[in-house]
Amino acid sequence: MATYHSGELAVQERAGLSDQARFSLGGIHHAVPEVAAAFLATQPMIVIGATDTDGRLWATQLTGDPGFLHTPAPDRLVIDAVPHPGDPLADAIARTAPHRPLRLGAIAIEPATRRRMRLNGRAVARTDRMEIDLDQVIANCPKYIQKRQPVLRTGAVRPEDRRITDSTSLRPDQQDMIRAADTFFVATASDTGDADASHRGGNPGFVDVLSPTTLRWPDYVGNAMFLTLGNLAVNPSAGLVFPGWDTGTALHLTGTARTVWEPDSAARFPGAQRLVEFSIDAVREITHASPLRWSEPAFSRFNPPTR
């Protein structure tokens, strides 16, 4: 049976949502249902989260033609792609072996229909693909997903076209990108290393840039599982990726995060139940990271207004 770990239980209790969380527990499975396998087979994108060779958490995006995600068995996901050289998770995934898998979280999201699915397990790379033995399969609610259609695939991105820049703080243009963002993805892990990847969305401006090294965003009403905040309660490490929907650029951040429970702080953000503050340790921006280009968003009707 699916269970929650101590961090998730503690956050559920503090939020006063333990009963709802017990009900939501039925949405955590150990295999991919047939209808979900069909959903995965149509997707051109998946976001993964894991630790790099230095133990830092990152989130990144993998893409491919529909069919690059498939489930040869209900408890196994195959991704016919690996991170490109320069991706913050490329080395960690390349070093996996059957006796040394990488604990990895993934989220497949279809912005056009606002559907998403989380898949967590243990990954091994096989040349140009990844095989993941699944431990958790979770269907999430569609709130806060902005509707987008893929409108262009630019073809294979040549390595020489990618520009990689590293820093320990955000440049002004990167801060502007975050302030304009309506979506990002966050990777976290439990105190035993089990990884998870999740989606965060809202109207542009829902992520505050407090300084070149500190972000803050509201935590809205969800399914009461608190998988992300539960992980942060026992392991503050986190990784974020902000996708450039119209450019293919990926802005990767790694650092630590904490939940801000003070009601007065949350009250300044419409719709916020609590806040999350993220401290940046490292920044990696990769241009032409993805060949996909997407339409302008239709914002979710569930998005609270921004200040």
* Beta-carbon contacts of residue 128 (< 8 Å; ≥ 6 apart): 80, 81, 82
Residue 157 confidence class, pLDDT cut points 50, 70, 90:
confident
Task: Report helix, strand or coil for 152.
Answer: strand
Q: For helices 6-15 and 227-234, give the axis angle rounded to 10 degrees.
A: 110
Q: What integer pLDDT is reported at residue 139 of this predicted model?
A: 84
Beta strands in the chain (DSSP E): 28-29, 45-51, 57-63, 69-73, 76-79, 102-110, 115-126, 129-139, 150-153, 164-167, 183-189, 195-201, 208-211, 214-219, 237-243, 250-260, 274-286, 292-294
Q: Is the pLDDT of residue 161 over 90?
A: no
Q: Is the pLDDT of residue 250 over 80?
A: yes
Q: What integer pLDDT is reported at residue 131 of this predicted model?
A: 98
Q: Of 21-30, 112-121, 183-192, 292-301, which range is least confident?
A: 21-30
Q: Is the pLDDT of residue 140 over 80?
A: no
Mean pLDDT along residues 233-248: 97
151 neighbors 293 (Cβ within 8 angstroms) = yes
pLDDT above 70 covers a percentage of the chain that reads 100
Mean pLDDT along residues 22-34: 91
- Structure-block tokens of residue 129: 């693909």
- Structure-block tokens of residue 138: 């979770």
Q: Are strands 28-29 and 45-51 parallel, antiparallel or unpaired?
A: unpaired
Residue 26 confidence class, pLDDT cut points 50, 70, 90:
confident
Mean pLDDT along residues 104-119: 96
266 neighbors 273 (Cβ within 8 angstroms) = yes
Closest among 238, 190, 228 to 57, alpha carbons compared: 238
Task: Report helix, strand or coil for 234.
Answer: helix
Q: What integer pLDDT is reported at residue 164 of this predicted model?
A: 97
Q: Is the pLDDT of residue 1 over 70?
A: no
Mean pLDDT for the chain?
A: 95
Burial classification of residue 290, based on how many CB atoms lie within 10 Å of its CB (0-12 exposed, 13-18 middle, 19 or more buried): buried
The domains located in the chain, with CATH, are: 26-142+161-292 (2.30.110.10)
Residue 41 confidence class, pLDDT cut points 50, 70, 90:
very high
Mean pLDDT along residues 40-61: 97
Q: What integer pLDDT is reported at residue 156 of this predicted model?
A: 73
Q: Is the pLDDT of residue 155 over 80?
A: no
- Structure-block tokens of residue 108: 């497949």
Q: What type of residue is 29?
A: H
Cα pseudo-dihedral 48, 270, 294, 289, rounded to 10: -40
Q: What integer pLDDT is reported at residue 153 of this predicted model?
A: 83
Q: What integer pLDDT is reported at residue 141 of this predicted model?
A: 77
pLDDT digits (tens, 9 = 90+) for 166-222: 999 999 999 999 999 999 999 999 999 999 999 999 999 999 999 999 999 999 999
- Compute how many other C-beta atoms are within 10 angstroms of the C-beta atom of residue 193: 12
Strand partners, 197: 187
* Beta-carbon contacts of residue 100 (< 8 Å; ≥ 6 apart): none
Q: Is the pLDDT of residue 303 over 90?
A: yes
156 vs 69, residue with greater confidence: 69
- Structure-block tokens of residue 120: 């967590």
Q: What type of residue is 292?
A: L
Q: What integer pLDDT is reported at residue 249 of this predicted model?
A: 97
Mean pLDDT along residues 6-21: 96
